[in-house]
Chains A and B, each alone.
Chain A
Amino acid sequence: MKKKRYFTPTDLMLSVMFLLFCLFIAYRIKVGLNYNWAWDSIFQFLFRFDNESNSWVSGLIMTGFYTTIRLSIWGILFATVFGVVSGIARTSSIPLFRWLATTYVETMRNLPPLVIIFIAYFFVGDQLLYPLGIDDWAETLSPTGQNIITVLFAKPSQLTSFLAALMTLAIFEGAYITEIVRAGIESIDRGQWEASHSLGLTRYQQMRHIILPQTFQRIMPPLAGQFISLIKDSSIVSVISIQELCFQGIEIMTGTLHTIEIWIVVTLLYLTLTLPCSLVVERLENSMSRGVH
Protein backbone atom coordinates (compact mmCIF):
# COMPACT_ATOMS: atom_id res chain seq x y z
CA MET A 1 0.00 0.00 0.00
CA LYS A 2 3.09 2.19 -0.03
CA LYS A 3 2.64 5.16 -2.30
CA LYS A 4 5.41 5.77 -4.75
CA ARG A 5 7.24 8.93 -3.76
CA TYR A 6 8.18 11.50 -6.37
CA PHE A 7 10.77 14.17 -6.00
CA THR A 8 8.72 17.25 -6.83
CA PRO A 9 10.01 20.76 -7.59
CA THR A 10 8.85 21.80 -4.13
CA ASP A 11 11.06 19.12 -2.61
CA LEU A 12 13.97 20.39 -4.66
CA MET A 13 13.41 23.93 -3.53
CA LEU A 14 13.15 22.94 0.12
CA SER A 15 16.31 20.85 -0.12
CA VAL A 16 18.25 23.72 -1.60
CA MET A 17 16.99 26.07 1.08
CA PHE A 18 17.97 23.61 3.79
CA LEU A 19 21.43 23.23 2.28
CA LEU A 20 21.89 26.99 2.16
CA PHE A 21 20.79 27.26 5.78
CA CYS A 22 23.38 24.66 6.81
CA LEU A 23 26.08 26.49 4.88
CA PHE A 24 25.11 29.73 6.61
CA ILE A 25 25.39 28.12 10.05
CA ALA A 26 28.76 26.64 9.12
CA TYR A 27 29.89 30.04 7.91
CA ARG A 28 28.77 31.74 11.12
CA ILE A 29 30.64 29.19 13.19
CA LYS A 30 33.78 29.54 11.09
CA VAL A 31 33.83 33.31 10.77
CA GLY A 32 31.43 34.91 13.19
CA LEU A 33 32.07 32.72 16.20
CA ASN A 34 35.78 33.42 16.26
CA TYR A 35 36.25 30.09 17.96
CA ASN A 36 39.47 28.31 18.61
CA TRP A 37 38.82 24.73 17.53
CA ALA A 38 40.87 22.21 19.45
CA TRP A 39 39.68 18.79 18.44
CA ASP A 40 43.07 17.23 19.08
CA SER A 41 42.97 18.09 22.76
CA ILE A 42 39.58 16.48 23.15
CA PHE A 43 40.70 12.95 22.41
CA GLN A 44 42.56 12.61 25.71
CA PHE A 45 39.22 12.91 27.50
CA LEU A 46 37.95 9.90 25.61
CA PHE A 47 40.99 7.64 25.82
CA ARG A 48 44.52 8.34 26.93
CA PHE A 49 47.73 6.40 27.19
CA ASP A 50 48.63 5.80 30.79
CA ASN A 51 52.42 5.81 31.24
CA GLU A 52 52.31 4.20 34.66
CA SER A 53 50.46 1.08 33.61
CA ASN A 54 51.71 1.34 30.03
CA SER A 55 48.25 0.87 28.51
CA TRP A 56 45.28 2.76 27.12
CA VAL A 57 42.71 3.80 29.67
CA SER A 58 39.36 5.56 29.40
CA GLY A 59 39.34 9.29 29.85
CA LEU A 60 36.85 11.33 31.88
CA ILE A 61 34.18 11.43 29.18
CA MET A 62 34.21 7.70 28.63
CA THR A 63 34.07 6.92 32.36
CA GLY A 64 31.13 9.31 32.53
CA PHE A 65 29.59 7.51 29.57
CA TYR A 66 29.96 4.15 31.36
CA THR A 67 28.26 5.58 34.43
CA THR A 68 25.40 6.81 32.25
CA ILE A 69 25.08 3.30 30.79
CA ARG A 70 25.06 1.73 34.26
CA LEU A 71 22.48 4.23 35.48
CA SER A 72 20.34 3.58 32.41
CA ILE A 73 20.40 -0.21 32.52
CA TRP A 74 19.77 -0.51 36.25
CA GLY A 75 17.36 2.41 36.10
CA ILE A 76 15.31 0.72 33.39
CA LEU A 77 15.26 -2.48 35.39
CA PHE A 78 14.16 -0.93 38.69
CA ALA A 79 11.81 1.61 37.13
CA THR A 80 10.08 -1.24 35.32
CA VAL A 81 9.72 -3.21 38.54
CA PHE A 82 8.34 -0.15 40.39
CA GLY A 83 6.08 0.74 37.48
CA VAL A 84 4.65 -2.74 37.05
CA VAL A 85 4.02 -3.24 40.75
CA SER A 86 2.34 0.13 41.21
CA GLY A 87 0.55 -0.17 37.84
CA ILE A 88 -1.05 -3.37 39.08
CA ALA A 89 -1.82 -1.66 42.39
CA ARG A 90 -3.53 1.15 40.43
CA THR A 91 -5.99 -1.36 38.99
CA SER A 92 -6.32 -3.38 42.18
CA SER A 93 -9.69 -4.09 43.74
CA ILE A 94 -8.24 -3.15 47.13
CA PRO A 95 -8.75 0.59 47.74
CA LEU A 96 -5.63 1.01 49.90
CA PHE A 97 -3.36 -0.22 47.10
CA ARG A 98 -5.08 2.00 44.56
CA TRP A 99 -4.76 4.98 46.87
CA LEU A 100 -1.07 4.42 47.59
CA ALA A 101 -0.19 4.00 43.91
CA THR A 102 -2.21 7.08 42.93
CA THR A 103 -0.44 9.18 45.55
CA TYR A 104 2.92 7.99 44.27
CA VAL A 105 2.10 8.75 40.65
CA GLU A 106 0.55 12.14 41.29
CA THR A 107 3.43 13.25 43.51
CA MET A 108 6.03 12.32 40.94
CA ARG A 109 4.16 13.77 37.98
CA ASN A 110 3.35 17.09 39.58
CA LEU A 111 6.78 18.07 40.83
CA PRO A 112 9.75 19.30 38.79
CA PRO A 113 12.29 16.49 38.39
CA LEU A 114 15.01 18.61 39.99
CA VAL A 115 13.01 19.00 43.17
CA ILE A 116 12.34 15.29 43.30
CA ILE A 117 16.00 14.53 42.73
CA PHE A 118 17.07 16.69 45.66
CA ILE A 119 14.37 15.50 48.04
CA ALA A 120 14.66 11.84 47.16
CA TYR A 121 18.43 11.92 47.02
CA PHE A 122 18.85 13.35 50.47
CA PHE A 123 16.10 11.21 51.91
CA VAL A 124 17.07 7.96 50.20
CA GLY A 125 20.78 8.61 50.54
CA ASP A 126 21.04 9.99 54.05
CA GLN A 127 18.16 8.31 55.77
CA LEU A 128 17.93 4.92 54.09
CA LEU A 129 21.22 4.00 52.47
CA TYR A 130 23.93 5.59 54.64
CA PRO A 131 22.79 3.88 57.83
CA LEU A 132 23.16 0.57 56.02
CA GLY A 133 26.89 1.21 55.73
CA ILE A 134 27.12 0.04 52.13
CA ASP A 135 30.35 1.93 51.41
CA ASP A 136 32.08 0.37 54.40
CA TRP A 137 30.82 -3.03 53.45
CA ALA A 138 32.05 -2.65 49.88
CA GLU A 139 35.49 -1.52 51.07
CA THR A 140 35.91 -4.71 53.10
CA LEU A 141 35.36 -6.90 50.02
CA SER A 142 38.20 -8.75 48.33
CA PRO A 143 39.79 -6.94 45.35
CA THR A 144 37.81 -9.15 42.95
CA GLY A 145 34.61 -8.33 44.80
CA GLN A 146 35.42 -4.64 44.64
CA ASN A 147 36.13 -4.93 40.93
CA ILE A 148 32.79 -6.58 40.31
CA ILE A 149 31.02 -3.84 42.26
CA THR A 150 32.92 -1.22 40.29
CA VAL A 151 32.04 -2.72 36.94
CA LEU A 152 28.38 -3.25 37.82
CA PHE A 153 27.71 -0.10 39.83
CA ALA A 154 30.41 2.31 40.96
CA LYS A 155 33.65 2.53 42.91
CA PRO A 156 33.10 1.35 46.51
CA SER A 157 33.70 4.87 47.79
CA GLN A 158 30.90 6.21 45.55
CA LEU A 159 28.57 3.26 45.87
CA THR A 160 26.04 4.83 48.23
CA SER A 161 25.58 7.99 46.23
CA PHE A 162 25.33 5.97 43.01
CA LEU A 163 22.62 3.74 44.49
CA ALA A 164 20.77 6.74 45.89
CA ALA A 165 20.81 8.45 42.49
CA LEU A 166 19.80 5.22 40.79
CA MET A 167 16.85 4.70 43.11
CA THR A 168 15.79 8.32 42.73
CA LEU A 169 15.81 7.99 38.95
CA ALA A 170 13.95 4.68 39.09
CA ILE A 171 11.29 6.02 41.46
CA PHE A 172 10.78 9.07 39.27
CA GLU A 173 10.53 7.17 35.97
CA GLY A 174 8.57 4.37 37.64
CA ALA A 175 5.67 6.79 38.07
CA TYR A 176 5.39 7.24 34.31
CA ILE A 177 5.72 3.50 33.72
CA THR A 178 2.93 3.01 36.26
CA GLU A 179 0.60 5.00 34.05
CA ILE A 180 1.67 3.09 30.95
CA VAL A 181 1.04 -0.23 32.70
CA ARG A 182 -2.30 0.93 34.10
CA ALA A 183 -3.50 2.11 30.71
CA GLY A 184 -2.31 -1.18 29.22
CA ILE A 185 -4.18 -3.28 31.74
CA GLU A 186 -7.33 -1.21 31.30
CA SER A 187 -7.14 -1.56 27.53
CA ILE A 188 -7.56 -5.33 27.73
CA ASP A 189 -11.05 -6.37 26.68
CA ARG A 190 -13.45 -7.15 29.53
CA GLY A 191 -14.21 -10.46 27.83
CA GLN A 192 -10.72 -11.68 28.71
CA TRP A 193 -11.45 -11.19 32.41
CA GLU A 194 -14.85 -12.81 32.09
CA ALA A 195 -13.66 -15.83 30.11
CA SER A 196 -10.83 -16.56 32.52
CA HIS A 197 -13.15 -15.94 35.47
CA SER A 198 -15.63 -18.48 34.19
CA LEU A 199 -12.83 -21.03 33.76
CA GLY A 200 -12.23 -20.72 37.49
CA LEU A 201 -8.92 -18.86 37.49
CA THR A 202 -8.12 -16.85 40.60
CA ARG A 203 -7.45 -13.15 40.25
CA TYR A 204 -3.72 -13.74 40.55
CA GLN A 205 -3.86 -16.39 37.81
CA GLN A 206 -5.90 -14.10 35.59
CA MET A 207 -3.30 -11.36 35.94
CA ARG A 208 -0.33 -13.65 35.56
CA HIS A 209 -1.51 -15.74 32.60
CA ILE A 210 -4.10 -13.69 30.74
CA ILE A 211 -3.95 -9.97 31.42
CA LEU A 212 -0.27 -9.12 31.93
CA PRO A 213 1.11 -11.06 28.94
CA GLN A 214 -1.29 -9.23 26.65
CA THR A 215 -0.60 -5.94 28.42
CA PHE A 216 3.15 -6.25 27.87
CA GLN A 217 2.71 -7.01 24.20
CA ARG A 218 0.59 -3.92 23.88
CA ILE A 219 2.69 -1.47 25.91
CA MET A 220 6.09 -2.32 24.44
CA PRO A 221 6.23 0.82 22.23
CA PRO A 222 5.35 3.38 24.94
CA LEU A 223 7.51 1.48 27.41
CA ALA A 224 10.53 1.62 25.13
CA GLY A 225 9.81 5.33 24.64
CA GLN A 226 9.91 5.78 28.39
CA PHE A 227 13.24 3.95 28.52
CA ILE A 228 14.62 6.55 26.11
CA SER A 229 13.33 9.27 28.43
CA LEU A 230 15.06 7.55 31.31
CA ILE A 231 18.39 7.52 29.48
CA LYS A 232 18.02 11.24 28.77
CA ASP A 233 16.79 12.07 32.25
CA SER A 234 19.74 10.28 33.82
CA SER A 235 21.63 13.51 33.09
CA ILE A 236 19.66 15.18 35.90
CA VAL A 237 21.65 13.33 38.55
CA SER A 238 24.68 15.39 37.56
CA VAL A 239 23.29 18.02 39.96
CA ILE A 240 23.92 15.67 42.85
CA SER A 241 27.47 15.08 41.67
CA ILE A 242 27.05 11.67 40.12
CA GLN A 243 29.91 11.58 37.63
CA GLU A 244 27.96 10.61 34.55
CA LEU A 245 28.29 11.91 31.04
CA CYS A 246 26.81 15.38 31.56
CA PHE A 247 28.67 15.93 34.80
CA GLN A 248 31.98 15.14 33.12
CA GLY A 249 31.03 17.36 30.19
CA ILE A 250 30.47 20.29 32.56
CA GLU A 251 33.69 19.58 34.44
CA ILE A 252 35.83 19.46 31.32
CA MET A 253 34.10 22.47 29.87
CA THR A 254 34.94 24.56 32.92
CA GLY A 255 38.47 23.24 32.87
CA THR A 256 39.29 23.62 29.19
CA LEU A 257 36.69 26.02 27.72
CA HIS A 258 36.42 23.74 24.65
CA THR A 259 32.68 24.05 25.00
CA ILE A 260 31.51 23.16 21.53
CA GLU A 261 33.76 20.16 20.99
CA ILE A 262 32.84 18.69 24.37
CA TRP A 263 29.12 19.00 23.83
CA ILE A 264 29.31 17.65 20.30
CA VAL A 265 31.03 14.56 21.68
CA VAL A 266 28.52 14.29 24.52
CA THR A 267 25.66 14.64 22.03
CA LEU A 268 27.02 11.86 19.86
CA LEU A 269 27.48 9.57 22.85
CA TYR A 270 23.89 10.10 24.02
CA LEU A 271 22.69 9.40 20.50
CA THR A 272 24.55 6.07 20.39
CA LEU A 273 22.40 5.06 23.36
CA THR A 274 19.04 6.52 22.41
CA LEU A 275 18.92 6.13 18.63
CA PRO A 276 19.04 2.31 18.64
CA CYS A 277 16.20 2.37 21.19
CA SER A 278 14.20 4.67 18.92
CA LEU A 279 14.68 2.30 16.02
CA VAL A 280 13.48 -0.58 18.16
CA VAL A 281 10.38 1.44 19.11
CA GLU A 282 9.66 2.14 15.46
CA ARG A 283 10.01 -1.55 14.60
CA LEU A 284 7.67 -2.48 17.43
CA GLU A 285 5.09 0.05 16.38
CA ASN A 286 5.21 -1.09 12.78
CA SER A 287 4.89 -4.74 13.65
CA MET A 288 1.97 -3.96 15.94
CA SER A 289 0.11 -1.88 13.40
CA ARG A 290 0.47 -4.79 11.01
CA GLY A 291 -1.46 -6.75 13.62
CA VAL A 292 1.04 -9.44 14.55
CA HIS A 293 -0.53 -11.19 17.47
Chain B
Amino acid sequence: MNVKKLGDHIITVDKVCKTFPNGVKALCDFSTNIRRAEVVVVIGPSGSGKSTFLRCLNGLEEIDSGEIIFDGIPLDHDKKNRLKIRREMGMVFQSFNLFPHMTVLENIMLAQKLVRKSSTGVAKDVSMELLEKVGIQDKVSAYPGQLSGGQQQRVAIARALAMKPKVMLFDEATSALDPEMIGEVLDVMKTLAREGMTMICVTHELGFAQEVSDWVIFMDQGKIIEGGTADHFFSNPQEERTKLFLSQIL
Protein backbone atom coordinates (compact mmCIF):
# COMPACT_ATOMS: atom_id res chain seq x y z
CA MET B 1 0.00 0.00 0.00
CA ASN B 2 1.28 3.42 -0.92
CA VAL B 3 1.44 5.95 1.81
CA LYS B 4 -0.50 9.10 1.01
CA LYS B 5 -0.53 12.22 3.08
CA LEU B 6 -3.80 13.23 4.71
CA GLY B 7 -4.55 16.94 4.76
CA ASP B 8 -6.43 19.22 7.13
CA HIS B 9 -10.07 18.69 8.07
CA ILE B 10 -12.35 19.19 5.11
CA ILE B 11 -15.55 18.17 6.92
CA THR B 12 -16.33 18.76 10.57
CA VAL B 13 -19.42 17.13 12.01
CA ASP B 14 -20.21 18.27 15.52
CA LYS B 15 -22.94 16.81 17.76
CA VAL B 16 -25.40 16.33 14.93
CA CYS B 17 -28.90 15.07 15.75
CA LYS B 18 -31.51 14.01 13.26
CA THR B 19 -34.96 12.80 14.25
CA PHE B 20 -37.43 11.90 11.53
CA PRO B 21 -41.03 13.14 11.77
CA ASN B 22 -42.10 9.61 12.71
CA GLY B 23 -39.96 9.84 15.84
CA VAL B 24 -37.05 7.67 14.68
CA LYS B 25 -33.78 9.04 16.03
CA ALA B 26 -31.47 8.34 13.08
CA LEU B 27 -28.48 10.32 14.40
CA CYS B 28 -27.79 11.36 18.00
CA ASP B 29 -24.85 13.53 19.01
CA PHE B 30 -22.93 12.39 15.99
CA SER B 31 -19.43 13.90 15.75
CA THR B 32 -16.54 13.14 13.44
CA ASN B 33 -13.94 14.84 11.30
CA ILE B 34 -12.89 13.97 7.78
CA ARG B 35 -9.50 14.98 6.44
CA ARG B 36 -8.55 15.76 2.88
CA ALA B 37 -7.65 12.62 0.90
CA GLU B 38 -8.97 10.44 3.68
CA VAL B 39 -10.97 7.32 2.83
CA VAL B 40 -13.50 6.62 5.56
CA VAL B 41 -15.56 3.44 5.55
CA VAL B 42 -18.80 3.43 7.54
CA ILE B 43 -20.17 0.08 8.67
CA GLY B 44 -23.06 -0.86 10.90
CA PRO B 45 -26.26 -2.86 11.04
CA SER B 46 -29.30 -1.99 8.97
CA GLY B 47 -31.16 1.06 10.28
CA SER B 48 -28.17 2.36 12.22
CA GLY B 49 -28.21 5.70 10.39
CA LYS B 50 -25.42 5.26 7.86
CA SER B 51 -27.43 6.55 4.93
CA THR B 52 -28.86 9.34 7.04
CA PHE B 53 -25.32 10.47 7.88
CA LEU B 54 -24.39 10.74 4.19
CA ARG B 55 -27.69 12.36 3.28
CA CYS B 56 -27.27 15.00 5.98
CA LEU B 57 -23.78 15.77 4.70
CA ASN B 58 -24.98 16.82 1.26
CA GLY B 59 -28.20 18.41 2.38
CA LEU B 60 -30.69 15.75 1.29
CA GLU B 61 -31.88 15.75 4.90
CA GLU B 62 -31.89 18.73 7.24
CA ILE B 63 -30.28 18.27 10.62
CA ASP B 64 -32.15 19.21 13.80
CA SER B 65 -29.20 20.36 15.85
CA GLY B 66 -25.42 20.34 15.80
CA GLU B 67 -23.15 21.65 13.11
CA ILE B 68 -21.68 20.50 9.82
CA ILE B 69 -18.89 22.55 8.28
CA PHE B 70 -17.63 21.73 4.84
CA ASP B 71 -14.40 23.34 3.66
CA GLY B 72 -15.12 26.40 5.78
CA ILE B 73 -18.74 26.70 4.70
CA PRO B 74 -21.38 25.98 7.37
CA LEU B 75 -24.25 23.76 6.20
CA ASP B 76 -27.02 25.91 7.63
CA HIS B 77 -30.39 27.11 6.39
CA ASP B 78 -28.79 29.47 3.91
CA LYS B 79 -29.77 28.23 0.46
CA LYS B 80 -26.61 29.57 -1.18
CA ASN B 81 -24.39 27.69 1.23
CA ARG B 82 -26.35 24.49 0.80
CA LEU B 83 -26.10 24.75 -2.97
CA LYS B 84 -22.37 25.50 -2.80
CA ILE B 85 -21.77 22.48 -0.61
CA ARG B 86 -23.69 19.96 -2.64
CA ARG B 87 -21.93 21.12 -5.79
CA GLU B 88 -18.64 20.11 -4.18
CA MET B 89 -19.84 16.68 -3.04
CA GLY B 90 -20.46 13.82 -5.41
CA MET B 91 -22.88 11.14 -4.33
CA VAL B 92 -23.27 7.60 -5.61
CA PHE B 93 -26.47 5.76 -4.72
CA GLN B 94 -27.28 2.13 -4.22
CA SER B 95 -29.85 2.29 -7.03
CA PHE B 96 -27.62 4.21 -9.51
CA ASN B 97 -30.33 6.81 -10.28
CA LEU B 98 -29.08 7.56 -13.77
CA PHE B 99 -31.36 9.78 -15.84
CA PRO B 100 -33.16 7.24 -18.05
CA HIS B 101 -34.17 9.73 -20.74
CA MET B 102 -30.59 10.72 -21.50
CA THR B 103 -27.70 8.86 -23.08
CA VAL B 104 -24.65 7.98 -21.01
CA LEU B 105 -22.79 10.96 -22.43
CA GLU B 106 -25.70 13.35 -21.76
CA ASN B 107 -25.95 12.05 -18.19
CA ILE B 108 -22.35 12.98 -17.57
CA MET B 109 -22.39 16.28 -19.45
CA LEU B 110 -25.58 17.64 -17.91
CA ALA B 111 -24.33 19.07 -14.63
CA GLN B 112 -21.08 20.32 -16.13
CA LYS B 113 -23.09 22.42 -18.55
CA LEU B 114 -25.86 23.52 -16.19
CA VAL B 115 -23.92 23.99 -13.00
CA ARG B 116 -20.32 24.54 -14.05
CA LYS B 117 -21.36 26.36 -17.23
CA SER B 118 -18.82 24.44 -19.30
CA SER B 119 -19.08 24.63 -23.08
CA THR B 120 -20.36 21.51 -24.84
CA GLY B 121 -16.89 20.82 -26.22
CA VAL B 122 -15.16 20.97 -22.86
CA ALA B 123 -17.92 18.99 -21.15
CA LYS B 124 -17.67 16.31 -23.80
CA ASP B 125 -13.89 16.01 -23.48
CA VAL B 126 -14.13 15.72 -19.70
CA SER B 127 -16.90 13.13 -20.01
CA MET B 128 -15.01 10.99 -22.50
CA GLU B 129 -11.95 11.04 -20.26
CA LEU B 130 -14.02 9.93 -17.26
CA LEU B 131 -15.79 7.21 -19.22
CA GLU B 132 -12.42 5.86 -20.24
CA LYS B 133 -11.34 5.95 -16.63
CA VAL B 134 -14.33 3.85 -15.53
CA GLY B 135 -13.95 1.64 -18.58
CA ILE B 136 -17.12 2.21 -20.59
CA GLN B 137 -16.00 4.55 -23.35
CA ASP B 138 -17.75 2.32 -25.92
CA LYS B 139 -21.21 2.97 -24.42
CA VAL B 140 -21.36 6.76 -24.79
CA SER B 141 -24.56 6.82 -26.79
CA ALA B 142 -26.34 3.98 -24.99
CA TYR B 143 -29.27 4.68 -22.69
CA PRO B 144 -29.00 3.59 -19.04
CA GLY B 145 -31.68 0.95 -19.58
CA GLN B 146 -29.39 -0.82 -22.05
CA LEU B 147 -26.54 -1.20 -19.56
CA SER B 148 -25.81 -3.81 -16.92
CA GLY B 149 -25.96 -2.83 -13.27
CA GLY B 150 -22.20 -2.64 -12.95
CA GLN B 151 -21.94 -0.46 -16.03
CA GLN B 152 -24.71 1.81 -14.77
CA GLN B 153 -22.99 2.28 -11.45
CA ARG B 154 -19.70 3.13 -13.16
CA VAL B 155 -21.52 5.73 -15.26
CA ALA B 156 -23.03 7.10 -12.05
CA ILE B 157 -19.55 7.42 -10.57
CA ALA B 158 -18.31 9.18 -13.71
CA ARG B 159 -21.32 11.49 -13.58
CA ALA B 160 -20.48 12.52 -10.01
CA LEU B 161 -16.78 12.91 -10.82
CA ALA B 162 -17.58 15.20 -13.75
CA MET B 163 -18.41 17.93 -11.24
CA LYS B 164 -14.82 17.66 -9.95
CA PRO B 165 -16.09 17.22 -6.39
CA LYS B 166 -13.87 17.65 -3.35
CA VAL B 167 -15.53 14.72 -1.60
CA MET B 168 -17.28 11.60 -2.89
CA LEU B 169 -20.02 9.89 -0.89
CA PHE B 170 -20.85 6.26 -1.66
CA ASP B 171 -24.01 4.78 -0.15
CA GLU B 172 -23.80 1.00 -0.56
CA ALA B 173 -22.69 1.48 -4.15
CA THR B 174 -22.32 -2.25 -4.74
CA SER B 175 -25.26 -3.63 -2.74
CA ALA B 176 -27.69 -3.75 -5.65
CA LEU B 177 -25.25 -5.49 -7.98
CA ASP B 178 -24.93 -9.10 -9.03
CA PRO B 179 -21.84 -10.64 -7.43
CA GLU B 180 -19.89 -10.79 -10.69
CA MET B 181 -20.25 -7.03 -11.16
CA ILE B 182 -19.22 -5.93 -7.68
CA GLY B 183 -15.54 -6.21 -8.52
CA GLU B 184 -15.60 -3.84 -11.49
CA VAL B 185 -17.22 -1.09 -9.40
CA LEU B 186 -14.94 -1.66 -6.40
CA ASP B 187 -11.93 -1.42 -8.72
CA VAL B 188 -13.03 2.05 -9.84
CA MET B 189 -13.53 3.08 -6.21
CA LYS B 190 -10.11 1.74 -5.22
CA THR B 191 -8.44 3.65 -8.05
CA LEU B 192 -10.13 6.82 -6.86
CA ALA B 193 -9.03 6.19 -3.29
CA ARG B 194 -5.42 5.70 -4.35
CA GLU B 195 -5.51 8.90 -6.39
CA GLY B 196 -6.20 10.84 -3.22
CA MET B 197 -9.94 11.48 -3.51
CA THR B 198 -11.61 12.19 -0.19
CA MET B 199 -14.22 9.46 0.19
CA ILE B 200 -16.89 8.41 2.66
CA CYS B 201 -18.15 4.95 1.82
CA VAL B 202 -20.99 3.07 3.42
CA THR B 203 -20.28 -0.52 2.46
CA HIS B 204 -20.38 -4.10 3.58
CA GLU B 205 -17.25 -4.89 1.53
CA LEU B 206 -14.73 -5.44 4.27
CA GLY B 207 -12.04 -6.31 1.71
CA PHE B 208 -12.38 -2.82 0.33
CA ALA B 209 -12.07 -1.36 3.82
CA GLN B 210 -8.97 -3.46 4.47
CA GLU B 211 -7.34 -2.47 1.21
CA VAL B 212 -7.86 1.29 0.89
CA SER B 213 -9.49 2.77 3.96
CA ASP B 214 -7.68 5.11 6.33
CA TRP B 215 -10.38 5.01 8.97
CA VAL B 216 -13.35 2.81 9.71
CA ILE B 217 -16.39 3.93 11.68
CA PHE B 218 -18.76 1.45 13.25
CA MET B 219 -22.22 2.91 13.86
CA ASP B 220 -25.21 1.63 15.75
CA GLN B 221 -28.47 3.39 16.65
CA GLY B 222 -27.33 6.73 15.29
CA LYS B 223 -24.09 6.82 17.24
CA ILE B 224 -20.45 6.05 16.53
CA ILE B 225 -19.65 3.02 18.65
CA GLU B 226 -16.05 2.68 17.62
CA GLY B 227 -13.61 4.20 15.13
CA GLY B 228 -10.17 3.02 14.08
CA THR B 229 -8.02 1.72 11.29
CA ALA B 230 -9.10 -1.33 9.37
CA ASP B 231 -6.33 -3.34 11.05
CA HIS B 232 -7.61 -2.33 14.46
CA PHE B 233 -11.13 -3.46 13.56
CA PHE B 234 -10.19 -6.81 12.16
CA SER B 235 -7.56 -7.74 14.73
CA ASN B 236 -8.81 -6.44 18.05
CA PRO B 237 -12.08 -4.51 18.15
CA GLN B 238 -12.76 -3.12 21.62
CA GLU B 239 -16.53 -2.90 21.91
CA GLU B 240 -18.81 -5.88 22.38
CA ARG B 241 -21.29 -4.61 19.78
CA THR B 242 -18.54 -4.27 17.20
CA LYS B 243 -17.36 -7.80 17.85
CA LEU B 244 -20.89 -9.11 17.54
CA PHE B 245 -21.51 -7.23 14.29
CA LEU B 246 -18.21 -8.32 12.75
CA SER B 247 -18.79 -11.92 13.73
CA GLN B 248 -22.14 -11.77 11.99
CA ILE B 249 -20.90 -10.47 8.68
CA LEU B 250 -17.50 -12.14 8.45
Contact = CB atoms under 8 A, between A and B. Distances in A.
A217 B102 CA distance: 12
A293 B101 contact: yes
Contact of B101 (A196, A199, A213): A213
Given A199-B163, A202-B83, A209-B110, A191 B95 contact: yes
Interface in B40-73: 58-60
Interface residues on A, range: 20 to 34
A293 B93 contact: no
A198 interface: yes
Given A205-B114, A209-B110, A209-B114, A198 B58 contact: yes
B55 to A, nearest CB: 8
B30 interface: no
A40 to B, nearest CB: 56
B216 interface: no
Nearest to B59: A197
A205 to B, nearest CB: 5
A201 interface: yes
Contact of B143 (A202, A205, A293): A293
Nearest to B114: A205
Given A198-B58, A199-B115, A202-B83, A214 B97 contact: no
A92 interface: no
Nearest to A195: B97
A201 B99 contact: no
Contact of A192 (B58, B97, B160, B163): B97
Contacts of B90: 198
A200 B93 contact: no
A115 to B, nearest CB: 41
A186 interface: no
Contacts of B99: 192, 195-196, 210, 214
Given A191-B96, A197-B58, A200-B163, 9 more contacts: A192-B97, A198-B60, A198-B91, A199-B110, A201-B115, A205-B115, A213-B101, A214-B101, A293-B143
5 contacts: A195-B99, A200-B115, A201-B111, A205-B115, A214-B99
